[in-house]
Amino acid sequence: MKKHILVISQYFYPEQFRINDICLEWVKRGYNVTVITGIPNYPQGKYFEGYGLFKKRKENYKGINIIRIPLIPRGNSSIMLALNYISFVVSGFFWMLFTSIKADYVYIFEVSPMTQALPGIWYSKKNKIPCYIYVQDLWPENFEILSGIKNKFVINMVGKMVDYIYSNCTKIFTTSRSFITSIVNRGVSKDKIEYWPQYAEDFYKPLKKKHVSEIPNDNSFNIIFTGNIGTSQGLDILPEVAFKLKKYGLDHKVRFNIVGDGRYKDTLVDLVKLNNVSDMFNFIPKQPPTKIPEMIAASDAALLCLKDNPLFSMTIPAKLQSYMACGIPVIASSNGETNRIIKEASAGVFSDAGDAQKLAENIVLLSKLPANQLDKLGENARNYYENNFNKQELLNKMDKYFS
């Protein structure tokens, strides 16, 4: 008889996170899966239509039992974001005290905030069951960047919380090999940590190139960016890059197709107008995940961009796997792990995060390549994905911890 996995994730369907697919795969494999999550509000900062404090608090999604505990929506300010984080923990504490659910394992899907792990830790301690955490954002480093708080007392308090979480987890999985060193440096045994990279959902695959209505079908070199438009993505360099590209006098236009939503989007739109490069940008509203591969197939290259920060050099963003699974050349403005993978795979071009000049030069270089060479870069990306991020192999690896 398969086991009952209790998943703790502040974000879950209809919010677009990879934990949705992981849980669906576990259900297919015969596990009983219950997810403790919040009321969906990411990234817009307000409750999704049809959801609320008194609406759809319990739901079954394709065999997954979802329990939504009360939380304050993220809003658009740092105060609202802090209340959002705290409210999930408080609600989770009371849920843990009174729940009658009996699970065999706790699995924490940790993207920021790491505070969301606490209800899972408390539940596992109370019920004396194994607790696994999948670390995608390093804290307190990520907290410091997102909040801008430098106060040593506050950072030390967050650090103590992180140490408490790590010490009470049975196993720690990381999306990046570089994370292992950072976690070991916090006094955690290396034997407790395992690299488990992200995979892309099955619908991310190479498709035949064809026109989609959202992307103009002209002679432009179309670069696509998909996902959250936040400050961490470092997209503020794009208007400067576009301005530089205009000076190169290419025989065709370069267009940045920015697909998605986020807290930084309005600012980016304003920057584009300020730099008089609106003709080189196409802002497309957030799309269903299943539509993204079609839009990638209609593009010539995919952009991955991150802020210049030591933490982000250790991070492998989930969109890298999505791009590579679709077999498209990747243009990266990043450091560290992301650049290493693109270089190993011969899957595109990369430059240091924040280097607008080099990014512009790389785009010119890629845009001048003949179609067969671009196709080869895309093939390399897909082959590397199959050899390093194979979904079934990764899930098989995780299965041994649920036996």
* Mean pLDDT computed over 189-207: 95
Model confidence pLDDT, tens digit, residues 372-389:
999 999 999 999 999 999
- Picking from 196, 230, 253, the residue at the C-terminal end of a domain is 196
Q: Are residues 56 and 184 in the same domain?
A: yes
Q: Are residues 289 and 169 in the same domain?
A: no
Q: Are residues 176 and 254 in the same domain?
A: no
Q: Are residues 191 and 226 in the same domain?
A: no
* Per-residue pLDDT band at 226 (split at 50, 70, 90): very high
Q: Are residues 184 and 264 in the same domain?
A: no
Structure tokens at 151: 């106060």
Residue 81 resides in a domain: yes
Q: In this structure, which amino acid lies at residue 295?
A: M
Residue 170 resides in a domain: yes
Instruction: Give start and end residues of each alpha helix (H) in 73-210.
Output: 78-98, 117-127, 141-147, 152-167, 177-184
267 against 209, higher pLDDT: 267
* Mean pLDDT computed over 78-83: 89
* Mean pLDDT computed over 264-282: 93
Residue 228 resides in a domain: yes
Domain containing 346 — which CATH number? Answer: 3.40.50.2000
Q: Are residues 67 and 188 in the same domain?
A: yes
Distances (CA, A) of 97 to 119, 123, 311: 10, 8, 35
* Mean pLDDT computed over 343-348: 96
- Picking from 139, 163, 196, the residue at the C-terminal end of a domain is 196
Q: Are residues 255 and 185 in the same domain?
A: no
Distances (CA, A) of 81 to 2, 165, 295, 348: 38, 21, 31, 36
Which residues are within 8 A (CB) of 311 and not within 5 positions of it... i.e. 6 or more apart?
A: 138, 141, 142, 145
pLDDT value at position 312? 85
Residue 55 resides in a domain: yes
54 has pLDDT over 80: yes
Contact predicate 223/250, CB 8 Å:
no
Q: Are residues 185 and 262 in the same domain?
A: no
Residue 403 resides in a domain: no
Q: Are residues 268 and 315 in the same domain?
A: yes
251 has pLDDT over 60: no
Domain that holds residue 346: 221-388
367 has pLDDT over 90: yes
Residue 126 resides in a domain: yes
Instruction: State pTM to two decimals.
Output: 0.85
- Picking from 144, 163, 196, the residue at the C-terminal end of a domain is 196
Q: Are residues 175 and 30 in the same domain?
A: yes
Residue 44 resides in a domain: yes
Q: Are residues 191 and 246 in the same domain?
A: no
Look at the chain and report how many structural domains it folds into: 2
Residue 33 resides in a domain: yes
Q: Are residues 269 and 140 in the same domain?
A: no
